[in-house]
Amino acid sequence: MKISTIIFLVFSIMFVFSCNKDDDQVSVADRNRALLGQWEYEAIMTDRAVDLNGDNTSNIDLFNTQELPQCVKDNITTYTEDGPSGKPEYNVTENNLACDDNNPFSFVEEDFWILTNNNATISFEGREPFRIIELTKNRLKVESDDTFDGQNYIMTITYKKK
């Protein structure tokens, strides 16, 4: 083998291993812009098992079990920079699988949002805040305190960009 071929192979291998998987990470300063858009659920977990659907089976995985109806798992979460109110808006809408008597694409939840605590928390006016665990260009992972049947638990929601 020629020395130039060996050098080429070595540099090629070094280049492949030098690629950083954090390239899509979002800096803390850019989180406001990165949150904008539509997000769909990828995972919903709790820190303790809960029985939300009353079937006497408790789970920590709310997304890949029957704890939440499929129509809830189908919802779309949207962060806008400036809605009709003039404030940044947060809303959850039904997608194709609407629950109860809702129409597809109707609002399930509406609120206003702002980043607080050095852009580490998404604060709302009418709901518990989300603590940002991870934010990349295509993935958002948050924690929120919740209560069900008098028990407190932490819900971790992972979204993927739609």
pLDDT digits (tens, 9 = 90+) for 57-76: 999 999 999 999 999 999 99
Nearest to 81 by CA among 73, 89, 93, 71: 89
Q: What pLDDT, on the 0 to 100 scale, is given for residue 3?
A: 62
Residue 97 tokens, joined: 């699988």
Q: Tell me the CA distances in angstroms from 131 to 10, 44, 47, 162, one per residue in order.
A: 43, 14, 15, 21
Residue 110 tokens, joined: 């509406």
Domain at 23-161, CATH class? mainly beta
Domain ranges of the chain: 23-161
Alpha helix (H) residue ranges in 36-162 = 70-73
Q: What is the per-residue pLDDT across 1-49, written as a single tens digit (0 to 9) for each?
A: 566 555 544 444 544 444 545 558 899 999 999 999 999 999 999 999 9
Instruction: Give dist(CA 1, CA 88) in Å, integer.
Output: 62
Percent of the chain with pLDDT over 70: 86
100 confidence band (pLDDT: 50, 70, 90): confident
The pTM of this model reads: 0.83
